[in-house]
Amino acid sequence: MIDDTLPQPDDIYDRDRQREVLGKVARELVKRRLTAPAIFTLESMMPLSYVASQALVMLKPFVQALVGGKDYAVFAAALEDRENVEWLLRELEAAEESSRTAQSQPEEAGRGAPPRRDE
């Protein structure tokens, strides 16, 4: 009998599945306004991405808050590959930029021409 609650090895190392989970992490970090600390952490760990991914064992409770229990193993395996770390950094930066753009648009819409006074 296969346990559906745990990801299978094929799922853990599937590039598309890894990118799906990394995208989910990026969206959660932007939503929680943790983009800057996440980028700093990822940039500093990149030379040691494999070792850093192994350190996730200690951080498991915190990471599971972002990705959920089933996706944790996929996330940890994804960070072993430097390409995935670089992809996650690009996703974080793009998501942060689109978040800033979305936040500034309502402000700019309200700054149009001054209200007209009918006297």
Residues 6+ apart with CB under 8 A from 42: 85, 88, 89, 92
Residues 6+ apart with CB under 8 A from 118: none
* Residue ranges of the chain with per-residue pLDDT less than 50: 1-2
pLDDT digits (tens, 9 = 90+) for 72-81: 889 888 988 8
pTM of the model: 0.72
pLDDT digits (tens, 9 = 90+) for 84-102: 999 999 999 998 898 888 8
Identify whether the C-beta of residue 89 lies closer than 8 Å to the C-beta of residue 39.
yes
